[in-house]
């Protein structure tokens, strides 16, 4: 999470006061008394923002702003103005400054502007990293979205199992994208240039299995929902795997094959042959911080497919998405994105059977999450924005099992 702030002011007392304010807010200020001292800290991957006075001896804040924009046009620069310098600040905004504050500025005003600048910088750096991953030709980065620890763990697991020839078992809740993960495993595997053949396991006969194995020769065969494979076909699959076939087997399931095999409802030997390397997909409820990223991607895809411009997505809308349960996982989020792009009203199926108190609870949770998102996970600022006593605010967070640190960028 971005915490660095470059403070530039020729007045040592002002620099020290601003630095103390930022340190109390858990930022990491780096101070400089002039343009010359500051410029060595400014580079295109600087993971922070700049706050600079406009009036300084020698090269002033305008020089610093122009220098920063030459290095990186998307690096946020917030300018501090003295009394009567508002016209200069407006001019600076026209030249690309992120925002300006009049000195002396209240701590709350400073932190509010800083939070917006940090959020903007975080988004830029995230997009650049994703672009670099895509340019490296990494299908895991291109197709498996998310910045949470769980999302990165999933990508790393896919990268580790893909280069082998061993069978892979992909598990996850319904709608989590099992077939997509299977395809990524195929694309990153030694047979990635071969065919990727996907078949619902429930409809396969022993003869049909033999046929699709031939279709997948030199590539991968994905058995979708392998738990539903008929008994006779399970025996045939086990025999083919033991004989060795010219196709990599990737199986997917939303069920617990270990439990099913223990109950005699799935061939235990086939289970052990398929479960050589397992990839588990986390549910959206395990990584709500990824919901905004995935939703934005789906909105972009939906808008492109529909041939219309992408609609604006407000922080409040993203917060409301994060507050929902999403039992259908990525599949239901994709549907929501399509409805959003087409301007269709949200479906109320998830809450239509809830009582008033439960519906109000969901709205309250959504507002709490929205406030934390706007204030970078700072609980005290979010409580103030909602006009709630701190104790009441924390009680509500505990009730809904909301952790402020999950919303810090």
Tokens of 138: 């990494």
Could you tell me which CATH class the domain 283-347 is placed in?
A: mainly alpha
Contact, 295 vs 313, CB < 8 A?
yes
Structure tokens at 328: 């259908």
Instruction: Identify the helix (H) or strand (E) that includes residue 287.
Output: none
Crossing angle, helix 390-399 and helix 356-374, to 10 degrees? 120
Sign of the torsion angle spanned by Cα atoms 203, 193, 150, 380: negative
Q: What is the pLDDT of residues 213-261, one digit of tens each?
A: 999 999 999 999 999 999 999 999 999 999 998 999 999 999 999 999 9
pLDDT of residue 400: 85
* Residuewise pLDDT in 10s, the chain (409 residues): 578 899 999 989 988 999 999 999 888 999 999 999 998 899 887 888 999 998 888 888 888 999 999 999 889 999 988 766 677 777 778 888 888 888 888 888 899 889 888 888 887 887 677 666 655 556 776 678 787 888 889 999 999 999 999 999 999 999 999 999 999 999 889 998 899 999 999 999 999 999 999 999 999 999 999 999 999 999 999 999 999 989 999 999 999 999 999 999 999 999 999 999 999 999 988 888 888 889 988 998 888 877 888 888 887 788 778 878 888 899 999 989 988 988 876 654 444 444 546 655 766 776 787 778 778 788 888 888 888 888 888 888 988 888 888 777 6
Sheet holding 277-280, edge to edge: 196-200, 219-224, 247-253, 168-171, 277-280
> Which residues on neighbouring strands pair with residue 328, listed in sequence order?
none
CA angle 148, 159, 201 (to 5 degrees): 95
35's CB contacts (< 8 A; 6+ apart) are: 8, 56, 58, 59, 60, 63, 64, 67
pTM of the predicted protein model? 0.57
Nearby residues of 94 by Cβ (< 8 Å), 6 or more positions away:
none
What pLDDT shows up at residue 352? Answer: 42
Q: Which residues of 163-198 are buried (b: 16+ CB within 10 A; e: fewer)?
A: eeeebbbbbbbebbbbbebbbbbbbbbebbebebbb
- Architecture of the domain whose range is 4-132: 3-Layer(aba) Sandwich (3.40)
327, 374 Cβ separation under 8 angstroms: no
Alpha carbons 331 and 38: distance in angstroms, whole number: 48
Residue ranges of E strands in 162-227:
168-171, 196-200, 219-224
CA 288 to chain centre: 9
For the chain, the C-alpha Rg in angstroms (whole number) is 27
pLDDT of residue 409: 61
Please state, in angstroms and as integers, the Cα–Cα distance from residue 285 to each residue in 48, 50, 102, 176, 321, following that order.
Answer: 30, 36, 43, 11, 11
pLDDT in tens, 177-226: 999 999 999 988 999 889 999 999 999 999 999 999 999 999 999 999 99
Domain ranges of the chain: 4-132, 147-279, 283-347, 355-409
Whether the domain at 4-132 and the domain at 147-279 fall into the same CATH topology: yes
Separation in Å, CA 378 to CA 15, 20, 113, 395: 23, 17, 14, 15
**Three-state SS at 26:** coil
> Structurally, what CATH architecture does the domain formed by 147-279 represent?
3-Layer(aba) Sandwich (3.40)
Handedness of CA 346, 373, 105, 9 (dihedral sign): negative
């Amino acid at each position: 999470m971005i915490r660095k702030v470059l403070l530039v002011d020729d007045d040592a007392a002002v620099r020290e006061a601003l630095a103390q304010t930022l340190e109390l807010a858990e930022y990491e200020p780096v101070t400089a008394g002039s343009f010359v001292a500051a410029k060595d800290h400014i580079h295109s991957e600087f993971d922070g923002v700049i706050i600079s006075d406009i009036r300084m001896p020698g090269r002033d804040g305008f020089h610093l702003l122009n220098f920063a924009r030459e290095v990186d046009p998307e690096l946020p620069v917030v300018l501090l103005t003295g009394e009567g310098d508002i016209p200069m600040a407006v001019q600076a905004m026209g030249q690309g400054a992120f925002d300006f504050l009049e000195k002396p500025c209240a701590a709350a005003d400073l932190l509010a502007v800083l939070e917006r600048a940090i959020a903007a910088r975080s988004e830029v750096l995230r997009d650049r990293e994703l672009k670099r991953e895509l340019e490296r030709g990494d299908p895991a980065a291109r197709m498996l979205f998310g910045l949470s620890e769980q999302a990165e763990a999933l990508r790393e697991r896919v990268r580790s199992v893909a280069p082998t020839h061993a069978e892979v078992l992909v598990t996850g809740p319904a709608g989590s994208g099992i077939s997509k993960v299977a395809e990524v495993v195929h694309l990153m595997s030694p047979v990635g240039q071969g065919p990727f053949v996907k078949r619902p396991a429930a409809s396969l006969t022993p003869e049909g299995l033999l046929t699709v194995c031939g279709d997948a020769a030199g590539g991968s065969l994905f058995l979708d929902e392998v738990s539903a494979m008929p008994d006779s076909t399970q025996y045939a699959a086990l025999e083919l795997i033991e004989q060795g076939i010219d196709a990599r087997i990737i199986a997917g399931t939303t069920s617990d094959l270990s439990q099913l095999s223990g109950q005699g409802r799935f061939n235990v030997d086939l289970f052990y042959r398929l479960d050589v390397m397992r990839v588990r997909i986390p549910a959206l409820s395990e990584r709500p911080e990824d919901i905004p990223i995935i939703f934005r991607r789906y909105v972009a895809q939906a808008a492109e497919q529909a041939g219309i411009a992408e609609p604006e997505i407000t922080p409040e809308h993203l917060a409301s998405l994060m507050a929902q349960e999403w039992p259908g996982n990525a599949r239901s989020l994709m549907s929501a994105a399509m409805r959003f792009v087409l301007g269709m009203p949200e479906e109320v199926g998830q809450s239509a059977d809830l009582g008033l108190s439960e519906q109000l609870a969901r709205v309250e949770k959504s507002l709490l999450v929205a406030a934390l998102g706007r204030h970078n996970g700072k609980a005290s600022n979010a409580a103030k924005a909602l006009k709630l006593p701190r104790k009441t605010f924390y009680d509500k967070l505990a009730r809904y099992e909301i952790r402020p640190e999950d919303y810090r960028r």
